[in-house]
Amino acid sequence: MIGDDDEPAGVHTFDEKWREKATEPYPRFPGPERLPYLRWLFSLFQRETRLFIPKSREMMVSWCAIGYAVWSCQFFLKTRVIVQTQKEEKVFDLIKGKDAPGYARTLYERQPKWLQQRYPLARPMELQSQGEITWANGSVLMGVPKGADQIRQYHPTLVVFDEAAHLDEFEAAYGNADLVASQVIAVSSAGPSWFGDICEQAMEQSKATGRYH
């Protein structure tokens, strides 16, 4: 944790390879001046209710999606966000974390103290489970591993599929999420899959019509 006299400026991430890079473990989240597409990406998060995003592994799109998930939970009452990944270990990586701090935990704990006090957690971070973070406002950010029926029992505000092209039963899982979630975001690096087919179809349609889809 950061001391009160050493509050972070802006948003920070965690880099597991910081030692070998000889850099800070918590680099500042890049702004649109460095990554111009971020402004466009976050506008899509706020505008689209169904969104598929193909990416490369260095674009920080997963970090952005988790950042949007944390923002949704922290600033809006009784919001349930579900993040689905292939393996439970990856679920932990994206939420609270196990050995290294997870994406969502990092984004929350690296906030200024006054902001954490304004939007407190339901219980201290060390008492939260590895795959779930809950806020005092009734919001919850939870992760689940692969499985078409993992989401069916909930009625989430937002579902985020990470690495959807590599997620077993993604098409069926998306179908279940589509029925119950207000918003669904799927992000993935390249790979032959239903996710890839949908993205290819959208790109071909955009080329044919000259309009973005």
Domain borders along the chain are: 48-209
Per-residue pLDDT, averaged over 65-93, amounts to 97
pTM for the whole structure: 0.88
Determine the Cα–Cα distance for residues 59 and 212; give it in Å rounded to an integer: 20
pLDDT at res. 41:
95
**Residues forming beta bridges with residue 54, ordered by sequence position:** 188
Q: What average pLDDT does the chain have?
A: 89
Q: Tokens for 120?
A: 């407190």
Per-residue pLDDT, averaged over 41-54, amounts to 96
Does 3 have pLDDT greater than 50?
A: no
Contact 99, 14 (CB under 8 A): no
Sign of CA dihedral 203, 205, 209, 213: negative
Per-residue pLDDT, averaged over 81-103, amounts to 93
pLDDT tens-place string over residues 151-197: 988 999 999 999 999 999 999 999 999 999 999 999 999 888 999 99
Helix (H) or strand (E) holding 37: helix 37-47
Per-residue pLDDT, averaged over 110-125, amounts to 95
74-78, 178-182, 199-203: the lowest-pLDDT one: 199-203
Q: Say what percent of the chain tops pLDDT 90.
A: 69
CATH of domain 48-209: 3.40.50.300
Does 60 have pLDDT greater than 50?
A: yes
Read off the pLDDT band of 100 (50, 70, 90). Answer: confident
pLDDT tens-place string over residues 6-47: 554 567 777 666 667 667 777 787 777 888 999 999 999 999
Determine the Cα–Cα distance for residues 203 and 198; give it in Å rounded to an integer: 9
pLDDT at res. 190:
86
pLDDT at res. 202:
87
pLDDT at res. 10:
65
